[in-house]
Amino acid sequence: MRRVPVCLLLIITVLGCQRTWQGLQRDLDQYPPGLLYAVGAAEVVLARHYVVTNVDRVHGIVEASSIVKANLVTKHRAKAVARVFQINENAYDVEVRVTNELELSEASPGGRGQPPHDWRAVGFDHVAEAMLMGEVQAQLRGQAISVTPKSTHVLFRPVQGTPARHRDIVPPATEGGPLPAPLPKPLEPTPETAPKPTSSAPAKPQPLEVFAQHVALGDAYAQRRELDKALLEYQRAAVACPQSPVSHLALAGVLTGLRRYDAAAASLREAAAAAKGARLANADLARLRGGADELSERLLLLKGWCKQRPDDASARLLLAYHLFLAGRPDEARAAVGEIMAANPKDAAAQCLVAQMDALKT
């Protein structure tokens, strides 16, 4: 008689688990595939360098942290958070934030027990952020590259004129006691113990990896409106991979923001030569579009400049390009038509028409 309730309880439990699993599967099916793909790409990249601690597919957040390291003074770690955000109807992008943290402790009350401790943020690691964002962008495009973000912790403030080295740091002396001896310096290698050079040279980074790193750094500087630094990084990306139109187009946008219209138009023509009629990806267009306020500011300045100097072909080409980025194809086609009326063989104008025609299909 006692077995019947147990069997019923097991059946109810199994049915409940099955319904819960079906509910979870139904919830996952409701999320856009692009969101899940971007979250998966961010998780894969962060797992290469850190320990993933949380994946929130509902809000598009992936959290990870490095292994805790220690020195003579404190413990430190890096915490990385990737956030997925929507850039248009079917496209998603990822931003990464890397925070350097130190473990701070306080004196235990009464001198007993373990002193309380907590992790405190001491700064952002912008170099690691840019490298990881470049790797995420490559992952979103289906390219598996791996960079090694180096920590930029500054844990010691060296004395003026002397470099800070871990082996030179001496613990503070106790009151009334002798000074402790400094830490032993490492022995210099002798010819017998020195490592023999290997014949195989270290592998050089591939051009695609260098290109992705410089583009990510340029994007980070452009978002902070540090256009001079962004210009330098995009130029390095163009040198690393000249056959990609993305860096040339990014250069055109930055140079337009700096009001160097002739140089910006020259970058547009280099991009047209590199594109060779290929259609730009939606993610690349969203990156080139940038912030709405910045794009509106460039359009306003270009329109005013073209009114003052209607014969400036470079400014008119840039105006057509930025109207295309702003999603105003009718005005962009009208501006391109004026350019091709004066020069029917303008390769940049033809490339811009091809991009607008590709978006219509």
Q: Which 3-state string (H, E, C) describes 154-201?
A: CCCCCCCCCCCCHHHCCCCCCCCCCCCCCCCCCCCCCCCCCCCCCCCC
Strands 69-70 and 51-56: unpaired
Residue 56's domain is classified under what CATH number?
3.30.310
Contact yes or no for 76/155 (Cβ under 8 A): yes
State whether residue 260 is helix, strand or coil: coil
Residue 4 counted as domain residue: no
Residue 346 counted as domain residue: yes
How many Å is the Cα radius of gyration of the chain? 28
Whole-number pLDDT of residue 185:
46
Residue 12 counted as domain residue: no
Whole-number pLDDT of residue 89:
75
Is there a single domain that holds both residue 240 and residue 312? yes
Is there a single domain that holds both residue 213 and residue 353? yes
Whole-number pLDDT of residue 321:
87
Is there a single domain that holds both residue 223 and residue 336? yes
pLDDT average per 10 residues of sequence, the chain (361 residues): 56 61 55 87 91 90 89 79 86 89 67 66 81 86 63 38 39 45 47 53 62 83 84 85 86 88 88 81 80 84 87 87 86 86 83 80 63
Q: How far apart are CA 317 and CA 291, in angstroms?
A: 21
State whether residue 92 is helix, strand or coil: strand
Residue 285's domain is classified under what CATH number?
1.25.40.10
Is there a single domain that holds both residue 252 and residue 338? yes
Q: How far apart are CA 328 and CA 257, in angstroms?
A: 19
Tell how far CA 280 is from the center of its chain.
20
Is there a single domain that holds both residue 246 and residue 345? yes
Q: Which residue bears the tokens 């259609």? A: 279
Q: Which of 308, 301, 307, 219 is nearest to 261 (CA)?
A: 301
Is there a single domain that holds both residue 141 and residue 258? no
Residue 138 counted as domain residue: yes
Residue 191 counted as domain residue: no
Residue 349 counted as domain residue: yes
Contact yes or no for 215/134 (Cβ under 8 A): yes
Is there a single domain that holds both residue 212 and residue 356? yes
Whole-number pLDDT of residue 96:
92
**pTM for this predicted structure:** 0.46
Q: Which of 155, 89, 157, 100 is nearest to 127 (CA)?
A: 100
| Two structure tokens written together for 332 | 């962009």
Is there a single domain that holds both residue 123 and residue 247? no
* Residue 266 belongs to domain spanning: 208-360
Is there a single domain that holds both residue 135 and residue 214? no
Is there a single domain that holds both residue 225 and residue 322? yes
| Two structure tokens written together for 318 | 């840039």
Q: How far apart are CA 138 and CA 215, in angstroms?
A: 11
Residue 223 counted as domain residue: yes
Is there a single domain that holds both residue 130 and residue 228? no
Residue 164 counted as domain residue: no
State how many domains the chain has: 2
Is there a single domain that holds both residue 257 and residue 136? no
Strand partners, 78: 100
Residue 328 has what DSSP assignment? -
**Dihedral sign for Cα atoms in the order 105, 106, 110, 111:** positive
